[in-house]
Chain A
Amino acid sequence: MNARQLKQRLMQNLDPVLLGALGGFALVSLVLLYSASDGNWLRVLAQAGNIAVAFTAMWLVASMPLHYLMRAAVPMYVFGLLLLLLVMTPLGVASHGATRWLNIGVATIQPSELMKIAVPLMMAWYFEKNEAVLKLKNYFVAAILLLVPVALIAKQPDLGTAILIGASGFYVLFLAGLSWRLMIGGALAALASAPFLWSAMHDYQRHRILMLLDPSQDALGKGYHTIQGMIAVGSGGILGKGYMNGTQTHLDFLPERTTDFIFAVWSEEFGLIGNLLLLSLYVFVIGRGFIITANASTYFTRLMAGSITLTFFTYAFVNMGMVSGILPVVGVPLPLISYGGTSMLTLMLGFGILMSIQTNKKLVKT
């Protein structure tokens, strides 16, 4: 196999439909970030770097045979869990009242990011292993595999990540055929335990939920983010104020406008029309994910693809929901658009897996 063949081989592993859509997101991200950062080219360039790294990672994963990924599941999960435990030791780095990072000398890393891939991977691997003999107990084991890291992350505290990982794990359980009875029972149990959960929550978490009910209660404090987000979105109207013309954005009223609240910038400057376009782009990617999932040939790939697709949607929904004021403000970036390398990398790794699943299927067929 010469270099030319190798290159062809690598290109073959990329799904052109997904690739096109992801390219669209990259473009939107750079253009929007230019406005959100008040024309800060350095920030746009840094994000271009993040995108380049993430696309490369996606490419590598997409080119990887699927059994490599399966083999990686257990070590990755165990390693990630260890790191999560290490965060709780004095090696953990605290910032803004949360201990989420590990100092590894050259940089600080956030183990919970690794778990975004590792947890569904581990669960899918577990179901694949026991495919032939699936019983109720296997679902319990899978649930434990999910709940341990989620609990550790929630304790940091990092509610956003905990919710997202919890959702991605739940999707695996759901697609793996978790019985309806159990789900309904679980939902009732969750409802019953809500008061206990409430008392176990941090003050700031409770505040955020209360603020959701009435953000004006604390307009300058906890409710400020929600109110300013809603003003930005609402004042955008149908057509928006125009690119670079968002007053909420450019006059600094919008907090975290290049990261978690970048959707408010989009919504203010491009209005309802822009939101419809952006939602369409997400729907397109999710739709493609569903097709890949439906056509996946193995139990493991079906669970993985389905979980990745639904988690991606969850990312988007939670972010837009919190910016437009129907969900509490939890630190969830707008997938593929918010400034930042980590979230971008994790998401693109997921898309790499999706592509790998798609092309492996193709290879099987031919």
Chain B
Amino acid sequence: MNRYVELKNHQREIYYFRLRLVLSLGFVAVMLLILLLRFFYLQVFRHDYFHTLADSNRIYVVPIVPNRGLILDRNGVVMAQNYSGYTLEIAPAKVTDMDALIAELSKLVEITPKDIKRFQKLLTERQTLETMPIRSQLSDEEVARISAQQFRFPGVEIKARLFREYPYTDQTSHLIGYVGRINQKDIDQLEEDDAVSNYLGSDYIGKTGIEQSYERDLHGKTGFEQVEVDAGGRAVRVLSRTAPQSGSNLMLTLDAKLQEVAENAFGEYRGALVALDPTNGEVLAFVSKPGYDPGLFIDGIDTDTWDELNNSPDTPLNNRALRGQYPPGSTIKPFMALAGLYYGTRSPTRSISDPGYYLLPGSRHQYRDWKAGGHGAVDMFKSIVISCDTYFYGLATEMGIDNMHSYLARFGFGQKTGLDMEGETSGLLPSPEWKAKRYQQVWYPGDTVSAGIGQGYNLVTPVQLAFATAILANDGVAFQPHLVRETRPASGSPVLTMPKQLFDLKIDPANLKLVKSAMEAVTKPGGTAAVAGYGAPYRLAGKTGTAQVIAIKQGEKYDAKKISEYNRDHAWFIAFAPADKPRIAMAVLVENGGHGGTTAAPIARKVMDYYLLGKIPQPLQTVTQKSGEQSD
């Protein structure tokens, strides 16, 4: 051990060594200071920032989609409901070869070319990371088959979703409408309404009909869960939960059975029917034929089916009741009669002599009556019963277009009724001002003549005509037409839609009595709808009408057999009953149906029979013409 004390320059070496040790100490101190400053920077200065990052790291907000409200008829019959089903979904972002994947999946479950087309349409519409359905309504067996093989298909998922179902399918397609996948247009609209957050997680939104116009009530309020997730995105626990609020159930004013009766009454005909309760504005039936299967749209319709529907000459996608605009034809006559009485242009008793045509003073142009040779002496009562054109040509001319316009406008012609369904059209009630603006032309006296019998520029929608009929039936007191009777929120008490009186025309009761009794006579022997009214055990009032699709040249005769089906006249019938205390008023349009008395009026009769008597109509009978003489 001696070696250790034999150091040379021992003291000096110790000194130098300790100097270096002190330098090392300094180095350690500096490094520690750097660490301390770093901790201070991260934990004090940037604490808020990292705190936020830590929270966003771990908290996900998961929307909980509320159940959509049901749609029921006035008696509680379900017209739109939800059911849960499995869908096969693909997350496109995780798939490299989509065609190969679909081919593989097709070996496990049936995927039709339609499914594929629909899926491809979805792909082009939405570019997101989420999954998109390729097949819905998988059977349990199919679910099991996919589940067993799922490890082979990254990006493929089976999801349980709620689907909308419409038990009445095409019968109520125009009324109930349908829900469809939310598209960019819907998102834009939601953004405008500041409602986007309420649709997080939602797949569907009401596209047409009640589903669209009552979207806010039906959808409900989306709930949220704040979920703590781990680094893998798996939920660890729920931090807070705001329950979703189911959408309200809607109880319609409509009677599903009546709707069905009305639908069936049309048989093979195209057309529309709107029936109202004149005392409160409730819509009792709302038919637009043909319809379509709303189920086709729920998952996104494929292009072929869409083209087929869209290009069909029967235009099944057109809501005729709400948007179809047709000349009202002779259904305008009762309103014209009331106008004539109001302005004193005609007294009830004054008769005209009808030679079968009308001549404007100073003109040689013949405005023909529908009956060659004319009806002889015609007073106001008779003019309605037999639908005498000549009478109304004269009445219109003498009353003048301005009076005519202003009086008919009181019944809502030329305006939207404000029915609680989106997309209503306003029809057209012409006036010289309108013509000047629209065509830069003056109003000719001949225009007034045509307008007097509901032709010329006049256009109405079935809803409008039903509304006008209801006002007439209810002695001039108008109620707002509406489809929803009661809104039943998931919690809280139901909200009834109170009947809303719009106005009272204060029509002279004597005038009303005359016109109404004439309309009653229309359905009696000698009237234009006598066949349809035959044997009715209640007092039925109505008026037939014909809407020309193509103009017949002067001196030519309309021959239904000679013109193509789609160019034949449309048949109208407006009606209310019981005549003394009306409970139902309606407008029926039969496209290319020819005469209102033979095609439209029997439909109205069946609906009335069911509504007033509970009588279920016999299977459709062909109405045969009883005589050669047919009115419009």
Q: Name A's B-contacting residues (CB within 8 A).
A: 131-132, 171, 174-175, 177, 230-238, 247-248, 251-253, 267, 271-272, 275-276, 279, 283, 286, 290, 293-294, 297-299, 302, 306, 310, 313, 317, 320-321, 324-326
Shortest beta-carbon distance, A310 to chain B, in Å?
A: 6
Q: Does any Cβ of A come within 8 Å of B120's Cβ?
A: no
Report chain B residues within 8 Å CB of A283: 32
Tell me the bound Cα distance from A68 to B49 in angstroms: 55
B17 located at the interface, meaning its Cβ lies under 8 Å from any Cβ of chain A in the complex:
yes
Q: Is the CB of B57 within 8 A of A275?
A: no
Chain B residues 254 to 272 lying within 8 A of chain A, measured CB to CB, are none
By the criterion CB–CB under 8 Å, are A253 and B42 in contact? no
> Does A252 contact B44, Cβ atoms closer than 8 Å?
no
Contact call A251/B229, Cβ cutoff below 8 A: yes
Specify the chain A residue showing the minimal Cβ separation from B23.
A174
B17 in complex: contacting residue of A247, A275, A302, CB < 8 Å:
A302
- Structural contact, B31 and A234, CB atoms closer than 8 A: no
- In the bound complex, do residue A251 and residue B57 qualify as a contact, i.e. CB atoms below 8 Å apart? yes
Do the beta carbons of B20 and A279 come within 8 Å of each other?
no
Q: How far is the CB of B452 from chain A (nearest CB, A)?
A: 78
B54 partner, pick from A131, A175, A231, A321, beta carbons under 8 A: A231
Instruction: Give complex CA distance A79, B42 in Å.
Output: 45
Q: Which residue from B28, B47, B58 sits with its C-beta under 8 Å from A237?
A: B47
Known: A131-B7, A324-B38. A310 touches B57 (CB 8 A): no
* Residue among A234, A267, A298, A320 with max Cβ neighbours from chain B (10 Å): A234
Query: Chain A interface: which of B139-147, B230-238, B365-373, B488-496?
Result: B230-238
Which A residue sits closest to B5, measured CB to CB?
A297
Partner of A279, one of B21, B35, B232, B236: B35
| Residues B230 and A252 in contact, CB atoms below 8 Å apart | yes
Inter-chain residue pair count (beta carbon < 8 A): 115
Q: Are B54 and A247 in contact (CB under 8 A)?
A: yes
Q: Which residues of A contact B38 (CB under 8 A)?
A: 321, 324-326
Identify which of B8, B47, B230, B231 contacts A234 (C-beta below 8 A). B47
The answer to whether A310 and B35 touch across the interface, beta carbons within 8 angstroms, is: no
Q: B51 near A: Cβ within 8 Å?
A: yes
**How long is the Cα–Cα vector from A237 to B47 in the complex, in angstroms?**
5
Identify 19 new A-B residue pairs, CB closer than 8 A, beyond the known A231-B54, A247-B58. Answer: A174-B20, A175-B17, A177-B16, A177-B17, A230-B50, A231-B57, A233-B42, A235-B50, A237-B51, A238-B43, A247-B55, A251-B231, A252-B232, A271-B43, A286-B28, A306-B21, A324-B39, A324-B42, A326-B38
The answer, among A177, A267, A320, A324, for a CB contact under 8 Å with B20, is A177
Residues of A within 8 A of B46 (CB): 234
Q: Which residue of the partner chain B has the closest CB to A303?
A: B17
Closest to A271 in B: B43
Kindly state whether residue B25 has any CB partner on chain A within 8 Å: yes
- Smallest CB-CB separation from A67: which chain B residue? B1
Contacts of A253 in B (CB 8 A): 57-58, 230-231
CB of B439 closer than 8 Å to a CB of A: no
Are A306 and B231 within 8 A (Cβ)? no
B299 at the interface (CB under 8 A from A): no
* Bound Cα distance A51, B312 (Å): 84
Name the CB-closest residue of B to A237.
Answer: B47
Of B21, B24, B54, B57, chain A has the most CB atoms within 10 Å of the CB of B54
Contact A231 B50 (CB under 8 A): yes
Chain B 590-608 against A: per-residue CB contact (8 Å), 1 yes, 0 no? 0000000000000000000
Separation in Å of the A135 CB from the closest CB of chain B?
Answer: 14
- How does the 8 Å CB contact mask read for B7-35 relative to A, with 1 for contact and 0 for none? 11000010011101100110010011011
Complex: A238 Cα to B17 Cα, angstroms: 40
Q: Cβ of A233 and Cβ of B21 under 8 Å apart?
A: no
- In Å, the complex CA distance between A177 and B24 comes to 12
B4 close to chain A: CB less than 8 A: yes
Q: What is the bound-complex CA distance between A302 and B18, given in angstroms?
A: 10
Please give, as numbers and ranges, the residues of chain B lying within 8 Å of A320 by CB-CB distance: 35
Query: Can you give 13 A-B contacts (C-beta < 8 A)?
Result: A174-B24, A175-B24, A230-B50, A234-B42, A234-B54, A235-B51, A237-B51, A247-B57, A247-B228, A252-B230, A252-B232, A275-B43, A306-B24
CB-contacts of B30-78 with A (<8 A): 31-32, 34-36, 38-40, 42-44, 46-47, 49-51, 53-55, 57-58
Q: How far is the CB of B238 from chain A (nearest CB, A)?
A: 14
Q: A252-B232, A321-B35 are in contact. Are A233 and B43 (CB under 8 A)?
A: yes
Chain B interface, DSSP helix/strand/loop, else mixed = helix
How many residues of B are counted as interface, with CB atoms below 8 angstroms from the partner's CB atoms?
A: 39
Contact A251 B36, CB 8 Å, known A175-B21, A306-B24: no
A289–B43 Cα distance when bound, in Å, is 30
Residues of A within 8 A of B34 (CB): 321, 326
**Interface pair A251/B28, CB less than 8 Å apart:** no
Shortest C-beta distance, B501 to chain A (Å), equals 62
Q: Give the CA-CA distance A171 to B46 in the complex, in Å.
A: 35
Q: A171-B24, A297-B4, A306-B24 are in contact. Are A279 and B51 (CB under 8 A)?
A: no
6 nearest A-B pairs in the assembled complex, by CB-CB distance = A234-B50, A235-B54, A252-B230, A234-B42, A252-B231, A272-B43
| Cα separation A302 to B16 with both chains bound (whole Å) | 12
Whether B28 lies near A272 (C-beta < 8 A) is no
Give B27's nearest chain A residue, CB to CB: A310
CA distance A182 to B51 in the complex (A): 47
Q: How far is the CA of A177 from the CA of B51 in the complex (A)?
A: 48
A299: which B residues are within 8 A, CB to CB?
Answer: 7, 13
Per-residue interface assignment for chain B, residues 465 to 492, with 1 indicating a CB less than 8 Å from any chain A CB and 0 otherwise: 0000000000000000000000000000
Contact A290 B57 (CB under 8 A): no
Q: Is the beta-carbon distance between A238 and B42 smaller than 8 angstroms?
A: no
Q: Which residues of A contact B51 (CB under 8 A)?
A: 234-235, 237
Q: Closest chain A residue to B28 by CB distance?
A: A313
Given contacts A267-B43, A279-B36, contact A294 B24 (CB under 8 A): no
A233 and B39 contact, CB distance less than 8 A = yes
Q: Which residue of B lies closest to A247 (CB)?
A: B58
CA distance A234 to B34 in the complex (A): 16
Distance, CA A302 to CA B20, complexed state (A): 11
Is there an interface contact between B50 and A251, defined as CB atoms closer than 8 Å? no
Kindly provide the distance from the CB of B357 to the nearest chain A CB, expressed in whole angstroms: 87
CB of B49 within 8 A of CB of A234, answer yes
A238/B54 in contact, CB under 8 A: no
Q: Chain B's nearest CB lies how many Å from the CB of A363?
A: 11
Contact B54 A248 (CB under 8 A): yes
Q: How far is the CA of A317 from the CA of B232 in the complex (A)?
A: 31
Whether A251 pairs with B43 at a CB distance below 8 angstroms is: no
Say whether, besides A251-B230, A321-B35, A326-B34, A175 and B43 are in contact (CB < 8 Å): no
Complex CA–CA separation, A237 to B46 (angstroms): 9
Collect the chain A residues with CB atoms within 8 Å of residue B58's CB: 247-248, 251, 253
Which residues from B are CB-within-8-Å of A252? 230-232
Given contacts A233-B50, A234-B49, contact A251 B39 (CB under 8 A): no
Given A247-B57, A251-B57, A252-B231: A298 and B21 interface contact (C-beta under 8 Å): no
Chain A residue numbers with a CB within 8 Å of B229 are: 251
Shortest Cβ gap from B608 to chain A (Å): 69
Chain B positions 325 through 355: 1 when the CB is less than 8 Å from some CB of chain A, otherwise 0: 0000000000000000000000000000000
Whether B35 lies near A324 (C-beta < 8 A) is yes
Q: Which residues of B contact A298 (CB under 8 A)?
A: 4
Which of B40, B49, B228 is the one whose CB lies under 8 Å from A272? Answer: B40
Q: A271, A276, A317: which contacts B31 (Cβ < 8 A)?
A: A317
Which of chain B's residues 551-607 have a Cβ closer than 8 Å to chain A?
none
**B466 to A: closest C-beta gap in Å:** 63
Nearest CB of chain A from residue B5's CB, rounded to whole Å: 9
Closest to B6 in A: A132
How distant is B290 from chain A, measured CB to nearest CB, in Å? 55
Contact between B42 and A132, CB atoms less than 8 A apart: no
0/1 interface trace, chain B 373-417, chain A, CB 8 Å (1 if under): 000000000000000000000000000000000000000000000
